[in-house]
Amino acid sequence: MKKATNLRSLAAQLIERVVDKGESLSAILPGAQKTLADKDGALLQELCFGVMRTLPQLEALIGKLMERTLTGKQRVLHYLIMVGLYQLLYTRVPAHAALAETVAGAEVLKRTALKGLINGVLRQFQRQQEELVAAVDQGPQRYWHPGWLLKRLQTAWPDQWQQIVDANNQRPPMWLRVNRQHHNRDAWLNLLQAEDKAAFPADAPDALRLESPAPVSQLPGFDQGWVTVQDLSAQRCALLLEPQNHETILDLCAAPGGKTTHILEIAPQANVLAVDIDQQRLTRVHENLQRLGMQAEVRQGDGRTPAEWCGDQQFDRILLDAPCSATGVIRRHPDIKWLRRDRDIPELAALQREILNAVWPRLKSGGTMVYATCSILPEENHQQIAAFLAEHDDAVAEQLPEGQINGWQVFPSVDGGDGFFYAKLMKK
């Protein structure tokens, strides 16, 4: 009989790779899940995402439970203890099972001598849980965000930062986009309800929020392209772009292809060029186009050097979903909090500026560009667009429904979309 994988030790190793080595959880988790049963894969994801979400609190608790932090070759056990604490605090795993499996994880990690230490720390936490949690929740760690990000949010959004932080700390809702080429939203919703699943419409015409997340295999017609998983805020990009049939449209920074396919659902006869710098992620664009039975030209390229991938071609519309800090999608990718650094923000703003300036000449006169980010930081958003408008006499910003003159900032909300920014620019 095959020996069961110890999920706690696996989670501890993955968390160490993210926090200490700067790897992305969404890049390394699927590989670890491949060999696991669905149920085990889901638990592994819950442990990794959960620890990422609550890291400052867990760090502070360990600080109170241990005199010295584990370092060097023992560092992975620091994260194993976190996995143990997270289970005791936030999961339905029975305490005895959480303890036994976490302690067994030390053996798998070939640190048998430290099993007693891990057992002792976790049992002490159980005895003093209430007072320990109350003590650490007095400090800034109760917000579960790194200090630099908290400071930026407080400075930028003095009235909203708490609501932003609260939303970032939630589990994300699952949003769907119904393919209007097959069904309208209500017709597909009827098919879903026939499967005993509930979903709620939103202000975007194709958007539905599932009452509770479900595997795509349970969504009617997913393999036939009837529906796509895409957050509500991401859906607004193609809607604001307003693509028309027979137009030439550029989707820049297109991977994994959710917005490319949405453009083609709205305007199936549009000529779409999807470009991304990451060759590996472009395979996802091809997969999405294939599943939906759509055609687009897909090229690898750097937004800063358009001549290399489109010569002197011009476009009727451009969607630029710019590389950004991803601070609006933290609830989906809690590791962002620990992968980003304060110094990244001016660097990202400089990159966005470079791409904007490089690609603007590719927009035809009378054309439309939508600039979007999944960020909630003004340097990447309103300030970026204000500076661009000041430098380009031929650019005019359209007033968006709920936005200021140079853009619309959306904050993440519990039952709403992710944090996003949009600016709609017309070329004179």
Task: Identify the CA nearest to 256 among candidates 236, 286, 215.
Answer: 286
Q: Checking DSSP bridges between strand 297-300 and strand 363-373, what pairing results, if any?
A: unpaired
The answer to whether position 207 is within a domain reads: no
User: What contacts 247, CB < 8 A, 6 or more positions away?
Assistant: 267, 270, 271, 316, 317
Q: What is the CATH number of the domain that holds 365?
A: 3.40.50.150
Tens digit of pLDDT for each residue in 50-109?
999 999 999 999 999 999 989 999 999 999 999 999 999 999 999 999 999 999 999 999
Separation between Cα atoms, residue 149 and residue 334, nearest integer Å: 13
Q: What is the CATH number of the domain that holds 130?
A: 1.10.940.10
The answer to whether position 374 is within a domain reads: yes
Separation between Cα atoms, residue 109 and residue 74, nearest integer Å: 10
Which tokens sit at 310? 């489109």
Amino acid at 161: W
From the CB of residue 415, how many other CB atoms can be counted at a distance below 10 Å?
11
Which tokens sit at 305? 């050097």
35 with 132, same domain? yes
User: What dihedral angle (degrees, nearest 10) is formed by the CA atoms of 31, 33, 36, 39?
Assistant: -170
CB-side exposure of 131: number of CA atoms within 13 Å?
Answer: 5
245 with 345, same domain? yes
241 with 127, same domain? no
Which residue shows structure tokens 């098919």?
191
Tens digit of pLDDT for each residue in 393-421?
999 999 998 767 789 999 999 999 999 99
385 with 257, same domain? yes
Consecutive 10-residue averages of pLDDT for the chain (428 residues): 79 97 95 93 96 97 94 95 98 96 96 95 97 95 96 98 97 97 97 96 97 94 97 98 98 98 98 97 97 98 98 98 98 96 98 98 98 98 97 96 85 96 98
Q: Which of the listed residues 117, 144, 171 is the one where a domain comes to its end?
A: 144
Q: Which of the listed residues 120, 144, 168 is the one where a domain comes to its end?
A: 144
Q: How many domains does the chain have?
A: 2
Please tell me the predicted confidence (pLDDT) of residue 3.
60
Please tell me the predicted confidence (pLDDT) of residue 380.
98
Task: Identify the CA nearest to 259 among candidates 349, 373, 419.
Answer: 373
237 with 333, same domain? yes
Which tokens sit at 76? 């992975």
Please tell me the predicted confidence (pLDDT) of residue 404.
76
The residues annotated as belonging to the active site are 374
Number of H helices, E strands in the chain: 16, 12
Separation between Cα atoms, residue 151 and residue 166, nearest integer Å: 15
Q: Identify the domain containing residue 133 by its residue range.
A: 7-144
- Contact between 375 and 336 under an 8 Å Cβ cutoff? The reply is no
- Contact between 248 and 221 under an 8 Å Cβ cutoff? The reply is no
From the CB of residue 96, how many other CB atoms can be counted at a distance below 10 Å?
8
From the CB of residue 94, how many other CB atoms can be counted at a distance below 10 Å?
10
113 with 17, same domain? yes
Hey, which residues does 251 pair with through a beta bridge?
A: 274, 319
Q: Model-level pTM?
A: 0.95
Q: What are phi and psi of 298, to 5 degrees?
A: -120, 125
Q: Which of the listed residues 115, 144, 173 is the one where a domain comes to its end?
A: 144
The answer to whether position 56 is within a domain reads: yes
Task: Identify the CA nearest to 205 among candidates 240, 177, 225.
Answer: 177
239 with 349, same domain? yes
